[in-house]
Every structure is written in structure tokens, then in C-alpha cells.
């Protein structure tokens, strides 16, 4: 299995933005990157009335929609734990996860002082880096919000 790194932080801290910046930097270095987004409140990509929705409604436990260059998998499966999902990423070099803050995986926290009063991962032994606009010291490497190349260097050195 490829290594898994969770990008964590409180709501509106910039997790998705950081992921959008780190992926191209790692891709530029030749790595295959998979992502998992933890949707706390559920989601629905299988639109009512579409063929794949009709397949699931008829009782299919899994439906895969395929077109040239793209596939989408819809499967009834417990996704509360990353262990249930990692098997879908065996051909990737790295899995970047947005969320799953309670998992025992390496974590990079994004923290913005204008959004929150204190970091989420103080005292978390899985924290490997802190991306912030502050000078708070969590005893891990600290990066500015735009230090993407340096953050990619850390990820590459430790996990790739």
C-alpha cells in the first residue's frame, strides 16, 4: 500500500486549497497521487434517474461507470476507516486524505489565525507538519501557507 498523509484542520482553514497546491508539485516530480475526501455529512454523485442510479436502486452492491479516460466507482461499503479505502489506491505512490483527523496516520495541519483561536492537533503524535500564518510552535516542521515546494520536499523525503 502507498503511504497515506492526512491534511487536517478545522472548517474553512484551507485544507482543500493546500491539497490543490501540493498535488501539482508532487506530480511535477513524477509521482502518482490519489486523494480521499472525507465527506462527514454524506454525498451523492449518483444522480436520480441516471442508469448507474437505476442499477443501484435495482440492488447492485457496486456500480462502476466508465468512459474513455475516466471511471467512477459507487459501492456500498463502510468508509469510516481509511483501512477500508486504501485497497483502491494500490497503483498510487501516495494517498493524500482530506479529513479523517481521528485516524492514526501522519497528519499535516492547516491553521489560519483569522479563522480559529487554537490548532486542532496540539499534542497529536501523528502530526508531521504545521502549515500556518502564525509563529505557533507545535514541535514539528512549520511552513507558511505558500511554502508548497518545501512542504513537498518534506513529504518526498519522508514518504516517497
| Residue appearing with cell numbers 479505502 | 85
Contact 142, 154 (CB under 8 A): no
Residues 6+ apart with CB under 8 A from 28: none
Q: Enumerate the H helices of the chain as residue ranges.
A: 15-28, 51-57, 148-159
Contact 120, 6 (CB under 8 A): no
Domains observed in the chain: 4-38+79-159 (3.40.50.300), 44-76 (no CATH)
Q: Is 99 helix (H, G, I), strand (E, B) or coil?
A: coil
Q: What is the pLDDT of residues 4-42, one digit of tens each?
A: 999 999 988 999 999 999 999 999 999 999 998 876 555
Contact 89, 35 (CB under 8 A): no
What's the pTM?
0.84
Most confidently modeled range among 38-52, 69-83, 96-110: 96-110
Residues linked to residue 95 through DSSP beta bridges, in sequence order: 4, 34
pLDDT of residue 134: 95
pLDDT of residue 32: 95
In degrees and rounded to multiples of 5, residue 133 shows phi and psi of -105, 20
Comparing 121 with 71, the larger pLDDT belongs to 121
pLDDT of residue 41: 55
pLDDT over 70 percentage in the chain: 93
Band (pLDDT 50/70/90 cuts) for residue 43 is low
Per DSSP, which regions of 4-126 are E strands?
Answer: 4-8, 33-37, 62-67, 70-75, 94-98, 107-111
pLDDT of residue 73: 80
Amino acid at each position: 500500500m502507498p503511504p497515506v498523509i492526512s491534511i487536517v484542520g478545522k472548517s474553512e482553514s484551507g485544507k482543500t486549497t493546500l491539497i490543490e497546491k501540493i498535488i501539482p508539485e508532487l506530480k511535477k516530480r513524477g509521482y502518482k497521487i490519489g486523494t480521499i475526501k472525507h465527506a462527514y455529512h454524506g454525498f451523492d454523485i449518483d444522480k436520480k434517474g441516471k442508469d448507474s442510479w437505476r442499477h443501484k436502486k435495482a440492488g447492485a452492491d457496486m456500480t462502476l461507470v466508465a468512459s474513455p479516460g475516466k471511471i467512477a466507482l459507487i459501492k456500498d461499503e463502510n468508509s469510516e476507516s481509511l483501512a477500508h479505502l486504501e485497497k483502491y489506491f494500490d497503483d498510487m505512490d501516495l494517498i493524500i486524505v482530506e479529513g479523517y483527523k481521528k485516524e492514526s496516520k501522519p497528519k499535516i495541519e492547516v491553521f489560519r489565525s483569522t479563522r480559529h483561536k487554537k490548532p486542532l492537533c496540539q499534542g497529536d503524535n501523528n502530526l508531521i507538519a504545521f502549515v500556518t500564518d502564525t509563529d505557533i510552535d507545535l514541535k514539528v516542521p512549520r511552513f507558511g501557507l505558500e511554502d508548497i515546494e518545501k512542504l513537498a520536499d518534506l513529504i518526498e523525503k519522508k514518504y516517497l
